Amino acid sequence: MFRKSMVVIAIVLMMGLAARGQVAGPAEQPRTISTTGEAVVYVAPDEAVISLGVESFDTSLDKAKADNDAASAKLLAALRELKIEPRYIQTAQLEVELRYRDGAYPSRGIEGYFARRGYSITLKDVQLLERLVDVALKNGANRIMAIDFRTTELRKHRDNARRMAIRAAREKAVDLAAELGCEVGLPRSISESAYHGYWGGSWWGGYGRGMAQNAMQVVGDGGAGGETMPVGQIAVRANVSVAFDLKPAR
């Protein structure tokens, strides 16, 4: 009887608290809307990094190395004639490859040796690009591995692209919310995708200017690196994800 009386009393107390609105129900989950914003700023590059190689082959290791030393010395002398500062010329690769007559059967003997050196040259004046390539190929270099166009104001353009991406994310959220009769509130979270640097230059096939979001800006015209080597523009990109509070329209 005592236990039944306690249960009845507890039920009565809960009913009284519920009538006063003091019994907490399940917490309502916040309504949110999540969007992404992407932006790209096209920039005329103001420097380029060219990767050049010197490759020599001979049946004698000593001869392959000596030929490579001579060609490399000739290339470096030609680069100095172009007034390129030594700090902008860096050895990026140094290797010797043993070539077998039949790669599957080393016991069949050695055909010869490849001696290779690779150099990375930072060109502070992109207008000299075509001249540099021409001089290098005539003075020892027999490989052009890559040409990478850059901007010395990457931080400024990246910050600008990030601001544009944030605005694009909010514009998208506002448009989506309006279609549902709602409004966008304060942001709950913001994250940025990890883009490393920028996209410039190209390999065979190049790259397109496809943009996923409504934010694009062009800064400066692409300079001409020569009659056959226009430098074009490079793309500085930003991508952000934002979650906003979603409220009924007032």
C-beta separation of 133 from 121 below 8 A:
no
For the chain, the average pLDDT equals 82
Among 33, 43, 38, residue whose Cα is nearest residue 214: 38
Q: What is the mean pLDDT of residues 68-77?
A: 97
Q: What is the pLDDT of residues 1-60, one digit of tens each?
A: 545 555 444 444 455 545 554 545 566 788 999 999 999 999 999 999 999 999 999 999
Q: Is the pLDDT of residue 122 over 90?
A: yes
For residue 81, the one-letter residue type is: E
Q: How far apart are CA 242 and CA 101, in angstroms?
A: 60
Predicted model pTM: 0.67
Q: What pLDDT shows up at residue 12?
A: 46
Percent of the chain with pLDDT over 70: 75
Per-residue confidence band for 195, with pLDDT thresholds at 50, 70 and 90: low
Is 196 in contact with 230 (CB distance < 8 Å)?
no
Q: What is the mean pLDDT of residues 145-164?
A: 92
Residue with more model confidence, 168 or 232: 168
Ramachandran quadrant class, 4 (left: phi over 0; alpha: psi -120 to 50; beta: rest): alpha
